[in-house]
Structure 1
Amino acid sequence: MTQAALTTLSFEQYLHYSDRTDTRYELVRGYLVPISPAPWPHSKIAKFLERTFDTEISRLGYPWEAVRGDVGQRTELSSARLPDVMVVQRADLDALGDKPAVLDVPAQLVVEIVSESSKVDDYLYKLAEYRAQGIPEYWVVDYLALGSARYIGAAKVPTLSIYNLVEDSYEGNQYRSSDPILSPTFPELTLTADQVFRA
């Protein structure tokens, strides 16, 4: 995790920060952390999940929206993340108006897709932050072992971990290969781990 600035920013300063480049930043305990462009498989999985969630939301008539990559989630006093995919209440998005698109209220569901540089963040720091923020469901999609041995520390088999908030703690389940995914947010979802990884 490389920090872009030595001075810390408040959450409000982050909302209006611009370095006049196309670099995207997360705010981690007051420090700007640049986000690297995602590899193509990462982007395909994010797009697939966004479409899958939107289809299910539409089918069920829920007042939610699936968003990919350009809406942030505040997680601490001076931290905000840019999840790969989120499912959020439409009313919460509408309430942002013309303000920067960073939610101050918990999303329904957050997805992080593991990249080489984010493994520790996704499994440790973001897990703790999303739990503390009260995100009901958190997915970690770890596809890095898929067809490649070059990812040191990657799961030996692509693994999708789903963490569900029970009281103040996350309870996790892992899904691999043809395992059907069980999602409390979308209990009727018909999807296997392989369908996500092969998106």
Structure 2
Amino acid sequence: MSQLKIVVIIMVQSLQKPITFAEFIQWKPANKRYELHDGVIIEMPQPTGEHEDIVGFLAEKLTLEYVRLQLPYSIPKTALVKSASSESAYSPDILLINRLNLSNEPLWKKESTLILGASIPLVIEVVSSNWRDDYYKKYGEYEGIGIPEYWIVDYLALGGRKFIGNPKQPTVSIYVLVEGEYQVSQFRGNDCIQSVAFPNLQLTAEQIFQSVSC
């Protein structure tokens, strides 16, 4: 069966009922970024240049730090994080993986997908127009997976006031898993980022926000 026919069949089915992760993986093309939200395929919009600036800056800083510490980490380009409690799979802006735990991941070799919190020391989402996904949906799913640390980098202050305060201002929210629940600390301006994964990281919130191209 051609890929076009598979696409048509799955898209028609998706109008009638949610699709499974297996169907999503079979359909998912390699040249675009998609996520699966409760059985619904979501095409991720092309990010802005500023968004990419911040992702690149943070990926570089974290890579330098884990190399310096000789940690068995890496940052894949397009790997997915799958929830065990729903038909959802996400493509984080930055996904830090612990390579020592990949042998325990049943979906890694063939589908580059992680399901275990022990494989993911840190995940980062840079907020765009669909900010509710980061603060609501992904927050709950990442907590349920057991990811120890989750950063939300809201450089445009798009999130709701109950998340970043009033008046709204650029904020880095770092959620750390404590007894199975996320506890949040927030960083603005010249606040030094405090990371459990990288406790000696020398980085301020303002340095992250200023990493965008002029």
Band of TM-score, shorter chain: 0.7 to 0.9
Per the alignment, residue 148 of structure 1 pairs with none
Is 1:16–1:100's contact at 8 Å kept on the other side of the alignment?
no
Provide the residue aligned with 2:80 in structure 1.
72
The one-letter code matched in structure 2 to 1:72 is: L
1:104 aligned partner? 115
Q: CA deviation at 1:22?
A: 3.7
5+ residue gaps, structure 2: 1-10
Q: State yes or no: 1:59 paired with 2:68.
A: yes
**Does the 8 Å contact 2:125/2:151 carry over to 1?**
yes
| Equivalent residue, structure 2, for 1:164 | 176
Partner Cα distance (1:198, 1:136) in 2: 27
> Which one has a larger percent strand, Structure 1 or Structure 2?
1
Runs of 4+ in 1 over 3 A off after TM superposition: 20-23, 91-95, 151-155
2:149 pairs, out of 113, 137, 159, with 137
C-alpha displacement at 1:108, in angstroms?
1.1
Contact 2:115 2:145 in 1 (8 A): no
Does residue 122 of the first structure (1) align with residue 104 of the second (2)? no
Q: Write the distance in 2 (CA, Å) between the matches of 1:56 and 1:13.
A: 37
Q: What CA RMSD, in Å, does the superposition of the two structures yield over aligned residues? A: 2.1
For 2:128 and 2:57, the matched residues in 1 are separated by 17
- Sort the Cα spacing of 1:171 and 1:36 in 2 relative to 1 into closer, same or farther, 3 A: same
Q: Given the two structures, how large is their TM-score scaled by the length of structure 1?
A: 0.86
Gaps of at least 5 residues in structure 1 are 146-150
Query: Secondary structure of the residue that 2:111 maps to in structure 1?
Result: coil
- Match of 1:46, SS? helix
In structure 2, what is the equivalent of residue 16 of structure 1? 26
Is contact 1:50-1:67 (8 Å) kept?
no
1:194 matches 2:203:
no
Could you tell me which amino acid in structure 2 is paired with residue 38 of structure 1? P
* SS of aligned partner of 1:67: coil
CA distance in 1, matches of 2:111, 2:30: 17
How far, CA to CA, are the matches of 2:30 and 2:67 in structure 1? 36
